[in-house]
C-alpha cells in the first residue's frame, strides 16, 4: 500500500469530522488522515457529530451511513440545513448503495463503498474539502454561501499584488477581510499597518501617512516615520479612504503612482515596497460624481473591487457569529458558559441588523449579562422592535419599486427562467449558468421572503425543495 500524501504546503487545513460508530474502523480512519497531515475530529454517531460541528469549524464531514439512533442520511439532512456548503462524504456497505445515491440527491458530495483503500479516501478529501482560507482566520465566519463567494474572491486576489478597494456598510468587517487578504498573501510575514483616515485630524493626516523630518513644522521635535514606511515589505490599509481631504488625495495619488514617499519637510524620496488596500462605507462612484473624491485616485485604488455585503444579506452567518461571541465570554476571566435557545436563534436570524456585525457583538454581550442562567432566550437579546421584521420577510404581494436593485433583478430573472422550463430546477440551473445546489438555496431564500416559487415538474425536484425548507 502506498503511503498517503501530505496536503500541499500553505495555510493549515481545516479539521475533518469522522462519524463512525465502529470504534476500530473510526480509529483506522483517524490514523489514515493523521498520517496524511490532516487534523481530525471524531464522533460516534450523528447526534454527537452535530455537537462537534457547533464546537469546531471543519472542512469536511466523512460519515458512515448505518448508525443509530441518527444514521448518516439523517445527519446529512441536518448538516445541509445548518451548514449548506459543508461537504459530506458518505461511507456505505455494498448492499445499501441505493441509499447512498439517494443521499447524493440530498447534497452529499460523494460516497465510497466499504472496504476501501486509504488512497480512495484521501483522493475524495483532496477533491471535496473546503479550502483552508474559509477557516484559517479566527475572525472570519463563512457559513453563508454569499460570504464564501466573497472569501473565494479574496483568496484569489490575495496571491497577487493588485490594489484592492473594499466597500460596504459600517460594521460588516471590511478590515477583517483586508487582514484575511494580507494573511494569505506573499507578504504575510511582513507588517499589516492600518490607518483610519476618518479618525485623524486633517492637519495631522499627512505627517501620519508620510512621516516628517525634525523641525518641518511647529511641534516636529524629532524625525517621525510615517505609516507608508512602517508597512515596508507588508500591507498598508487605508481605512475609510473616502474621508481623506482632497488636497491630500493628490499627494496620495503620486505616492501610489511613483511607489515612493517623501516625508513632510524632507527632500529625499523613500522607495516603497508595499501593497495597498483601502476601504470605504460610501458609494465611491457617487463620491466621484459629486467631486468629493478624485476620479484618478479612485481608479488607482479600484483595481480589484470587493463589496462586503451587510449581515442581513448573509443570514446563515448570524447564529455562528453569535456563538463565536458566546464562546469568548464576557472577559475578565469569566468562563464562557452561555448558549442560545432555538427561539433566540430564530429571533437573531429574523432581525434586520442595521449595525451589522458590530451590533450583533453588542447584543450578545448584553444578553450574557441579562440572562440569569446559561440559556439565552429572546427576551435577553433586547432587540429593537422596529428592526425585528426585516425586508426579507415582507409579504409576497408587496409592490416592487420602479427602480429595481440588483437583488430584485436577479430574483425576477431566476423566477422567470424557472417558470419558462416548467419549474424543473436542473434545466433552470443550466440556463442560468449556476450550480443546481446554488439555485435551490436561492429559491429557499425567495420562499422565506414570501415570493411564490414554481413547483418542479418531477418528483425529485419537489422532494428536494421540501427538504431544503426543513419540512418532512
Last residue of a domain, one of 105, 130, 155: 130
What gap in Å lies between CA 308 and CA 209, rounded to an integer? 25
Prediction pTM value: 0.57
The CATH number linked to 445 is 1.10.10.60
The verdict on 231 and 291 lying in the same domain is yes
The CATH number linked to 58 is 3.40.50.2300
What gap in Å lies between CA 72 and CA 18, rounded to an integer? 11
175 inside domain:
yes
Relative to beta strand 224-225, strand 211-212 is antiparallel
- In terms of phi and psi (left: phi > 0; alpha: psi -120 to 50; beta: otherwise), the region of 115 is beta
Whether 415 contacts 446, CB under 8 Å: yes
9 inside domain:
no
The verdict on 204 and 125 lying in the same domain is no
Q: How many domains does the chain have?
A: 4
The CATH number linked to 369 is 1.10.8.60
378 inside domain:
yes
- What pLDDT shows up at residue 83? 75
Cα dihedral: 149, 138, 61, 125 (round 10): 70
What gap in Å lies between CA 140 and CA 174, rounded to an integer? 11
What gap in Å lies between CA 113 and CA 132, rounded to an integer? 27
140 inside domain:
no
Biggest distance spanned by C-alpha atoms of the chain:
85
The CATH number linked to 192 is 3.40.50.300
SS3 448: helix
- What pLDDT shows up at residue 393? 41
460 inside domain:
yes
Beta strands in 328-469 (DSSP E): 339-340, 375-376
The verdict on 152 and 277 lying in the same domain is yes
What gap in Å lies between CA 64 and CA 92, rounded to an integer? 6
- What pLDDT shows up at residue 56? 81
Tell me how far the alpha carbon of residue 370 is from its chain's centroid.
29
- What pLDDT shows up at residue 329? 77
Last residue of a domain, one of 391, 419, 446: 391
The verdict on 151 and 298 lying in the same domain is yes
The verdict on 62 and 189 lying in the same domain is no
What gap in Å lies between CA 92 and CA 72, rounded to an integer? 9
DSSP characters for 154-185? HHHHHTS---EEEE--TTS-HHHHHHHHHHTS
21 inside domain:
yes
SS3 276: strand
The verdict on 195 and 293 lying in the same domain is yes
136 inside domain:
no
The verdict on 225 and 176 lying in the same domain is yes
Contacts of 79 (CB under 8 A, 6+ apart): 49, 50, 53, 61, 86, 88
Domain that holds residue 363: 312-391
Cα dihedral: 24, 27, 31, 37 (round 10): 150
- What pLDDT shows up at residue 235? 95
The verdict on 439 and 358 lying in the same domain is no
CB burial readout 15-35, b (16+ within 10 A) else e: bbbbbbbeeeebeebbebbee
**Distant-in-sequence contacts of 433-441, Cβ < 8 A, 24+ apart:** 437/84, 437/107, 438/145, 439/414, 440/464, 440/465, 440/468, 441/84, 441/145, 441/468
The verdict on 374 and 408 lying in the same domain is no
Last residue of a domain, one of 107, 130, 153: 130
The verdict on 165 and 262 lying in the same domain is yes
- What pLDDT shows up at residue 406? 56
267 inside domain:
yes
SS3 280: strand
Q: What are phi and psi of 273, to 5 degrees?
A: -125, 80
Q: How confident is the prediction along the chain (472 residues), in pLDDT tens digits per residue?
A: 444 444 544 445 678 999 999 899 999 999 999 898 889 999 999 999 998 888 887 889 999 988 888 888 889 888 877 776 678 898 887 655 566 566 666 778 788 888 888 888 998 888 777 655 444 444 578 888 888 889 888 888 998 999 999 999 999 999 999 998 998 889 988 999 999 998 888 878 888 899 878 766 766 667 778 899 999 999 999 999 999 999 999 999 999 999 999 888 878 889 999 999 999 999 999 999 999 999 999 999 999 999 999 999 999 999 999 988 888 877 655 666 788 999 999 999 999 999 999 999 999 999 999 988 899 999 999 998 754 444 444 333 333 333 345 567 678 778 877 877 778 888 877 777 677 777 887 888 888 777 777 766 443 444 344 444 433 3
The verdict on 460 and 417 lying in the same domain is yes
The verdict on 23 and 86 lying in the same domain is yes
Amino acid at each position: 500500500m502506498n503511503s498517503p500524501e501530505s496536503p500541499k504546503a500553505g495555510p493549515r487545513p481545516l479539521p475533518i469530522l469522522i462519524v463512525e460508530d465502529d470504534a476500530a474502523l473510526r480509529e483506522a480512519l483517524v490514523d489514515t488522515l493523521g498520517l496524511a497531515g490532516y487534523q481530525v475530529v471524531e464522533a460516534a454517531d450523528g447526534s454527537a457529530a452535530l455537537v462537534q460541528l457547533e464546537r469546531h469549524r471543519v472542512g469536511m464531514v466523512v460519515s458512515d451511513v448505518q448508525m443509530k439512533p441518527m444514521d448518516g442520511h439523517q445527519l446529512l439532512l441536518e448538516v445541509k440545513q445548518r451548514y449548506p456548503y459543508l461537504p459530506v462524504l458518505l461511507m456505505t456497505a455494498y448492499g445499501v448503495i441505493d441509499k447512498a445515491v439517494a443521499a447524493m440527491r440530498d447534497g452529499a458530495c460523494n460516497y465510497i463503498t466499504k472496504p476501501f483503500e486509504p488512497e480512495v479516501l484521501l483522493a475524495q478529501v483532496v477533491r471535496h474539502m473546503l479550502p483552508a482560507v474559509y477557516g484559517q482566520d479566527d475572525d472570519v465566519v463563512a457559513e453563508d454561501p454569499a460570504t464564501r463567494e466573497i472569501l473565494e474572491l479574496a483568496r484569489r486576489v490575495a496571491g497577487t499584488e493588485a490594489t484592492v478597494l473594499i466597500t460596504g456598510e459600517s460594521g460588516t468587517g471590511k478590515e477583517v477581510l483586508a487582514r484575511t487578504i494580507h494573511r494569505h498573501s506573499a507578504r504575510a510575514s511582513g507588517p499589516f499597518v492600518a490607518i483610519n483616515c476618518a479618525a485623524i485630524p486633517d492637519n495631522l493626516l499627512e505627517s501620519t501617512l508620510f512621516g516628517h523630518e525634525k523641525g518641518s513644522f511647529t511641534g516636529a521635535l524629532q524625525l517621525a516615520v510615517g505609516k507608508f514606511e512602517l508597512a515596508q515589505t507588508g500591507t498598508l490599509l487605508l481605512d475609510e479612504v473616502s474621508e481623506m481631504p482632497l488636497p491630500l488625495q493628490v499627494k496620495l495619488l503620486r505616492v501610489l503612482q511613483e511607489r515612493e514617499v517623501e516625508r513632510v519637510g524632507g527632500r529625499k524620496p523613500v522607495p516603497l515596497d508595499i501593497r495597498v488596500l483601502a476601504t470605504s462605507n460610501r458609494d465611491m462612484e457617487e463620491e466621484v460624481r459629486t467631486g468629493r473624491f478624485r476620479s484618478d485616485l479612485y481608479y488607482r485604488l479600484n483595481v480589484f473591487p470587493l463589496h462586503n455585503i451587510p449581515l442581513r444579506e448573509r443570514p446563515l452567518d448570524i447564529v455562528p457569529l453569535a456563538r463565536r461571541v458566546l464562546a469568548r465570554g464576557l472577559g475578565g476571566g469569566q468562563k464562557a458558559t452561555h448558549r442560545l435557545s432555538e427561539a433566540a436563534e430564530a429571533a437573531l436570524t429574523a432581525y434586520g441588523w442595521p449595525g451589522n456585525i458590530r451590533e450583533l457583538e453588542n447584543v450578545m454581550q448584553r444578553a450574557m449579562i441579562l440572562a440569569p442562567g446559561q440559556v439565552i432566550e429572546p427576551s435577553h437579546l433586547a432587540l429593537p422592535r422596529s428592526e425585528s421584521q426585516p425586508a426579507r420577510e415582507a409579504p409576497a404581494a408587496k409592490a416592487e419599486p420602479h427602480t429595481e436593485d440588483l437583488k430584485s433583478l436577479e430574483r425576477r430573472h431566476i423566477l422567470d427562467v424557472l417558470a419558462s422550463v416548467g419549474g424543473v430546477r436542473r434545466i433552470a440551473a443550466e440556463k442560468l449558468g449556476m450550480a443546481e445546489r446554488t439555485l435551490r438555496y436561492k429559491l429557499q431564500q425567495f420562499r422565506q421572503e414570501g415570493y411564490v416559487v414554481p413547483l418542479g415538474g418531477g418528483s425529485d425536484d419537489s422532494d428536494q425543495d421540501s427538504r431544503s425548507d426543513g419540512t418532512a
